[in-house]
Amino acid sequence: HTWLPDAHVQAPTGGSVILAAVLLKLGGYGFLRFAMPLFPWAARLVAPTLAVFAVIGIIYGAYCAWVQRDVKKLVAYSSVSHLGFVMLGIFAATEGSVSGAILQMISHGVSTGALFILVGVIYDRRHTRDLADFGGLAKVMPAYATLFVIVAMSSVGLPGTNGFVGEFMILSGTFVSSNLGVWQKIFALFAATGVVLAAIYMLHAVLKTFWGPVDKKENEDLPDLTGREKWVLAPLIGLVFWIGVAPGFFLHPMEASVESFLSQWGDRAAATGTAEESHILQGGIPEVEEPPTEGDDADEEEAAEEEARLAPTDDVRVAALGDVR
């Protein structure tokens, strides 16, 4: 949330696309592939805490995006918010939430990558990304405005687009999760506010950029998208609707992996989750039995000899039995 927006602003368009579509997913992949399988009990123990940070990231990123004047920085902070959903879904650890988190990583790469391309297109023409320098571009660049609105709505999570499926699965999975203690419904409720905030900051950007009069002379003769630019964006727009309308094509191949991950993680957590390990993870010190010393061994031997000396022999037992008779 500190370095990412500045990195996006300073990077060229291609660098921002690679950073958003590929590199930002390595953290989520690392949790799913390494951190949680290797340390299952620790991951289960800290899951509610990390869910709190995920929800904070969702809301914080959305509020920061809302107040940005630079369009590229707005998209960068929206990435912070969207990846908070990914982390929440992973640590909710239900089949729906984990599948939704993986799908959300794919959807985020598609939508945010397309947004950075579109921001780069307008920057090449106007050499500015300040929202105050635009207005009324829907009249001047109708094709550009249409594609930008489509991708913006997918970032918001409009039903029928790719952003809706992953976020809905994450929220519904979090709502019924047993891995987040008694707070799962609270987490889902606060995370849902991120969807509302996303609609606010994205619609605000669309309004400032495309609606209203063309009151800047530099915007009057801007060329619309070229054929090459349309062909670059066409596959991404296709994926926006494909994932949104037919998510099963992408969810079915990951079902076995998600089930295996959850079963292995749960089994390992149960196997390693002893009371002593839990005590250690919570900051306690395990009780260690002190090894016996040489003096203790000698005392034990003397006690055994004394017990053997005082024990009655067989002759004594027989005599005692005769007296009783």
Any domain includes 287:
no
Any domain includes 289:
no
Vertex 204 angle, CA 24 and 70, to 5° = 55
Any domain includes 298:
yes
Phi, psi of 130 (to 5 degrees): -75, 125
Query: How far is Cα 135 from Cα 26, in angstroms, rounded to an integer?
Result: 37
Domain with 308, as residue range(s), is 294-324
pLDDT at 9 over 50: yes
Claim to verify: residue 272 and residue 314 sit in the same structural domain = no
pLDDT band for 216, please (50, 70, 90 cuts). Answer: confident
With CA atoms as reference, report the closest residue to 21 among 63, 75, 89, 62: 75
Claim to verify: residue 33 and residue 81 sit in the same structural domain = yes
Claim to verify: residue 163 and residue 90 sit in the same structural domain = yes
How does DSSP classify residue 178? S
Claim to verify: residue 175 and residue 265 sit in the same structural domain = yes
Claim to verify: residue 75 and residue 154 sit in the same structural domain = yes
Any domain includes 231:
yes
Query: How far is Cα 174 from Cα 179, in angstroms, rounded to an integer?
Result: 9
Any domain includes 282:
no
pTM of the predicted model as reported, rounded to 2 decimal places: 0.81
Claim to verify: residue 223 and residue 263 sit in the same structural domain = yes
pLDDT in tens, 78-126: 999 999 999 999 999 999 999 999 999 999 999 999 999 999 999 999 9
End-to-end CA distance of the chain: 94
Query: How far is Cα 76 from Cα 108, in angstroms, rounded to an integer?
Result: 11
Number of domains the chain is built from: 2
Claim to verify: residue 168 and residue 247 sit in the same structural domain = yes
pLDDT in tens, 115-145: 999 999 999 999 999 999 999 999 999 999 9
